[in-house]
Amino acid sequence: MPAPDRKPQRTSNSSFDPLAINLQPPPNETEEEKAVRLEAAKEATRVSRTIDAGLAESKKLLERKKRAVKILLLGQSESGKSSVLRNFRLTFTPKYFESERLVWKTVIQLNLISSIKKILTVLQEEWEAVGDAQSPTTPDSASPDAKPSTPLTSDHRRLALSLSPLLAFETSIGQMMDSTTGGYTVTVRPGGGWKHKLASFGRSPSTTPPEAHSPDGRRRGREREQRPVAGDAGARGVQGGDRGAVGGQRRPGRAGSAWGAFAGGLGVVSDAFLDDTPRIAALDYVPSDRDIMRARIRTLGVEEHRFVTESGFRAGTEFYITDVCGSSNQVRWAGLVWAGLGWVLTSISDSGQHGSVVSRGVPYFDDVQAIIFLAPLAFWSSLDEDNTKVNRVQDSLELWREIVGNPLLAKTAFILLFNKKDILQAHIAAGKMVKKYVPSFGDRTNDVASVTKYFRDKFSAYHKKFSPEPRPFIVYETEAIDTKSTAVILGEVQEQIIRNHLKDLDVM
Ligand SMILES: Nc1nc2c(ncn2[C@@H]2O[C@H](COP(=O)(O)OP(=O)(O)OP(=O)(O)O)[C@@H](O)[C@H]2O)c(=O)[nH]1
Ligand SMILES: [Mg+2]
């Protein structure tokens, strides 16, 4: 058979198609070459179809996202954004929330270990200080007789020794979760991969650490299987507290409270589950809803959560809630995105499926329906992570000003949550004077109502002054660790956002 003529054919009415020419078989093609060529063409078609399907999928995702409700959670670090998100899930996707309960068990136990770590650090510092002041040959530097300068006793030393294995536990779980920083806060990468890892781990009632599954860890693993996570000493509480001036009081059946008192006596500011040690360290511990809201985990970066509501107003509505880590660098970074850089890599966590977390580029902040801004009323404490003495009120107000003044968000509805109201109440009850921390508060009455009114007015004035165009905003006072009251508020917020969105979509 004569070889096909591969020269371009030009006729008066045909168009020149270089692709068609390239697809023609080469001259003198053998059967083998033909088979290879056809196989390559088949593969090219398959790849092309995959790309087309991917593009169609992305288009569908974008279309779906356009109709979904998009909410952005903003506020400084530790203001309670992630806790509000957890409340959202508890209220509107209760089945999903339930499926994650055991994941939180390990996080809560890690939070407790972090508090114990703080205590051990303070004890260590105290011993070092005493050691420096004494002769190094002193046999028992913690003995109360030998060391009148320290209230620490040899019981404290024994206690510290018995608790130190917890630090190894913390390290191994941290490695398993790919926790990125040390310190006292569990810090994870965005994307929810850590949840997937903890999901299987948390199902084991003994919460055996990962090294227990390695050949060398097997024996240690078996030993640990018999023990609660915080160890016997943890469950017993601070026994040395009976004798030492810094120790908590020994109250049978209330050992956990002794931990809190002990930490308070040492000046370790933390409410991270110390008072609940016996309950949390128990083998059959299952976190309550409130425990889950109190759990502290810091996610670096930006995390987008997609879910379809199971209950509440218009159940079945699709939501995208973006949780932006509140550390100042992250906020600046997010600011860059708002400023129009457009596409960033975020992590989309699909509801209802552990491990179905994918990372992909999506445009966001462009059509957010509402921003839920959290301003904590706990302005007495400094930021835990950074150890920097940030004036929390000033910091929140600055962030609020930047966000309400952003022209790209001119049409976005703002919901301001003054969170951690319980902490404000506790501090006022303890006699703390607001004007010491917020001088402009002046001589107003030092009670919860006056303080919240003062901040409402301040945030409201900034909103009015810096918003590119007039718009309303809603304010609530919240306590995100109280799931009942938060559910009521989120119910109103969610309904309002959906109604406005439907109006914008012209379907209401
Ligand atoms: N007492 C009290 N604690 C709260 C409240 N809201 C949140 N918390 C706790 O405050 C800590 C910080 O809350 P998160 O939700 O992690 O704060 P965040 O804003 O997400 O912080 P970043 O991730 O660092 O930006 C957690 O331990 C919460 O349980 C509240 O209303 N009252
Ligand atoms: Mg967070």
Instruction: Give the tens place of pLDDT for each residue, 318-357.
Output: 999 988 877 655 555 554 454 444 333 333 333 333 322 3
Strands 370-376 and 69-75: parallel
Identify which ligand lies nearest to the alpha carbon of 79. 1
Let me know whether 384 and 469 are in one domain.
yes
Q: List, in order, residues 6 or more apart from 378 with CB less than 8 Å away.
A: 392, 420, 423, 424, 427
Let me know whether 475 and 328 are in one domain.
yes
- Give me ligand 1 centre to Cα 449, in Å: 22
| Residue-number span of the structural domain to which 362 is assigned | 67-93+309-504
For residue 493, count CB atoms less than 10 angstroms from its CB and return exposed for 0-12, middle for 13-18, buried for 19 or more.
Answer: buried
Let me know whether 146 and 207 are in one domain.
yes
Let me know whether 82 and 114 are in one domain.
no
Report the atom number in ligand 1 closest to the C-alpha of 325.
Answer: 25
35 is in an annotated binding site: no
- Give me ligand 1 centre to Cα 142, in Å: 37
Among candidates 339, 373, 343, which has minimal Cα distance to 359? 343
CB atoms under 10 Å from CB of 194, counted, come to: 25
ipTM over 0.90: yes
- Give me ligand 1 centre to Cα 110, in Å: 16
Q: What CA–CA distance (Å, rounded) separates 348 from 346?
A: 6
Let me know whether 227 and 325 are in one domain.
no
E-assigned strand segments in 15-80: 69-75
Give the residue, 151 or 374, on which the prediction is more confident: 374
Whether 374 is covered by a domain: the verdict is yes
> Does position 287 have pLDDT exceeding 50, yes or no?
yes
452 is in an annotated binding site: no
Query: Which amino acid, one-letter code, is at 393?
Result: V
Q: What is the pLDDT of residues 221-245, one digit of tens each?
A: 333 333 444 433 443 433 333 222 2
Whether 58 is covered by a domain: the verdict is no
Q: List, in order, residues 6 or more apart from 126 with CB less than 8 Å away.
A: 150, 152
Does 68 sit in the ligand 1 pocket, CB within 6 Å?
A: no
Let me know whether 122 and 258 are in one domain.
yes
Report the atom number in ligand 1 closest to the C-alpha of 478.
Answer: 31
For residue 397, count CB atoms less than 10 angstroms from its CB and return exposed for 0-12, middle for 13-18, buried for 19 or more.
Answer: middle
Q: How many domains does the chain have?
A: 2
Let me know whether 323 and 200 are in one domain.
no
pLDDT for 346: 37
Q: What is the pLDDT of residues 160-209, one digit of tens each?
A: 888 888 888 888 888 888 776 556 777 887 777 888 888 877 555 444 44
Please give the helix or strand (H or E) that residue 56 lies within, else none. helix 31-67
Residue bearing the CA closest to ligand 1, atom 28: 294
Domain boundary among 242, 258, 293: 293
Let me know whether 313 and 458 are in one domain.
yes
Let me know whether 83 and 112 are in one domain.
no
Let me know whether 153 and 244 are in one domain.
yes
Q: What CA–CA distance (Å, rounded) separates 470 from 346?
A: 32
- Give me ligand 2 centre to Cα 93, in Å: 19
> Where residue 381 falls among pLDDT bands split at 50, 70, 90?
low
419 is in an annotated binding site: yes
Q: Can you give the CATH number for the domain in which 357 is found? A: 3.40.50.300
Q: What CA–CA distance (Å, rounded) separates 40 from 36?
A: 6
Does 427 sit in the ligand 1 pocket, CB within 6 Å?
A: no
pLDDT for 356: 29
* C-alpha distances in Å from residue 493, one per residue of 74, 137, 486, 502, 508: 15, 66, 10, 14, 18
Domain boundary among 225, 258, 293: 293
Q: What CA–CA distance (Å, rounded) separates 503 from 508?
A: 5
Whether 61 is covered by a domain: the verdict is no
Whether 3 is covered by a domain: the verdict is no
Whether 315 is covered by a domain: the verdict is yes
First to last CA, the chain: 70
Whether 112 is covered by a domain: the verdict is yes
Q: What CA–CA distance (Å, rounded) separates 354 from 332?
A: 31
Torsion angle (degrees, nearest 10) of CA 460, 465, 470, 474:
-10
Does 270 sit in the ligand 1 pocket, CB within 6 Å?
A: no
Let me know whether 427 and 389 are in one domain.
yes
- Give me ligand 2 centre to Cα 192, in Å: 13
To test the pocket of ligand 1, the residue of 72, 73, 76, 82 to mutate (highest count of ligand atoms within 8 Å of its CB) is 82
3-state SS string for 307-363: EECCCCCCCCCEEEEEEECCCHHHHHHHHHHHHHHCEEEEEEEECCCCCCEEEEEEE
Whether 191 is covered by a domain: the verdict is yes
Whether 391 is covered by a domain: the verdict is yes
Let me know whether 286 and 265 are in one domain.
yes
Identify which ligand lies nearest to the alpha carbon of 272. 1
